[in-house]
Amino acid sequence: MARAPVLPALLCLAVLALAGGADARRKMVGVYELKRGDFSVKMTNWGATIMSVLVPDSKGNLADVVLGMDTLAEYVNDTSYFGPLNGRVAQRMARGRFVLDGKVYHTYINDGKNAIHGGKRGFSKVIWTVKEYVAGGDSPYITMYYRSFDGEQGFPGDLDVYATYQLTGPYELSIRTNATALNKATPVNFLQHVYLNLGGEGSGDILGHTLQLSASRYTPLDVEMLPSSGRVDPVAGTSYDFRTPMPIGARIRQVMGGKVYGYDINYVIDGEGMRKVAVARDGKSGRALELWANQPAMQLYTGNFLNHTQGKGGKLYEQYGGFCLETQAYPDAVNHPEFPSVTVRPGQVYKHDMRFTFSF
């Protein structure tokens, strides 16, 4: 069967969604393009998802460096988290449970015995309202809004969330997110789950990409991918050490991301504030990426569970077909008082900023 093409910008699909956890109403899901010269980014307000990033290589050839799918319907049914903004609390939470101000909360369990990425209907599985959209010019952008209601997926309190995606410079994509707790204290941790392949999506694996991380420490994870020990260990002398540029595949058979070989590990980023987190480079295409962010940590994931996964244009994504650089708070911080707190109290504002700069 022929696959439908990606819908053009401003062509919308009507879908039924629950608004505010109460009355059902119709909202519109659309595809929105940000374009500056030959650099373009396509988004959808389903899950505040990055669908594509078009970047030239060293010879001027354009390629999409983001893994994904062709149709909005596929994104709605996606289980690989291709490109969305995850929340209210991204990453894994042990047993989907936490205690806040003496009260026990139980969230939706959707990863074995644990919760992941905000539950079954986290922020990646909701329709965001497009507040502003400027497609072109020197600094095109889109701002999306979502009201997360009290009790959604088990989390306390109403939360106002904004996410702005903007082309802030030549081949530079900035993402600014903020969330305000309205009436109850709540944990908050967002991450952007875009899969990257600087050689072009579907071009093969990323094992030959070189990677450098501004991280001298990491949090060891157990077989359930939880930091159950609460330890923060140095990367020196381990296969997790990317302080100097190293091919991703050089030591990938020495680490386990759950029950398979590959990286799925949280790094503690050196320094504070907005700072350089990672530099990745593909020697064949000449494309490189520099990531800056203001979060304390970052999860490196190397697409360990991609396995004949349906991608764009009939392509199949195989293991290690893409990698994710997920800036975030420490995983399962709600259950580890020794980690930096992720609690946002009424009137406080959570802020998470990222900047992806491509070169070639």
Confirm or deny that 352 is annotated as ligand binding: no
Residue 320 CB partners (closer than 8 Å, separation 6+): 205, 206, 207, 248, 249, 252, 262, 302, 303, 304, 306
- Is there a contact between 7 and 72 (Cβ–Cβ < 8 Å)? yes
| Torsion angle (degrees, nearest 10) of CA 319, 324, 328, 331 | 10
193 is in an annotated binding site: yes
CA distance 84 to 193: 6
Residues recognised as catalytic: 193, 326
Distances in whole angstroms, Cα of residue 210 to Cα of each of 114, 245, 249, 304: 33, 6, 9, 17
What's the CA angle centered on 189, arms 183 and 192, to 5 degrees?
A: 130
CA distance 337 to 228: 12
**Does residue 85 contact residue 177 with C-beta atoms inside 8 Å?**
yes
Which residues are known binding-site members?
193-195, 264
Which residues are known binding-site members for beta-D-galactose?
193-195, 264
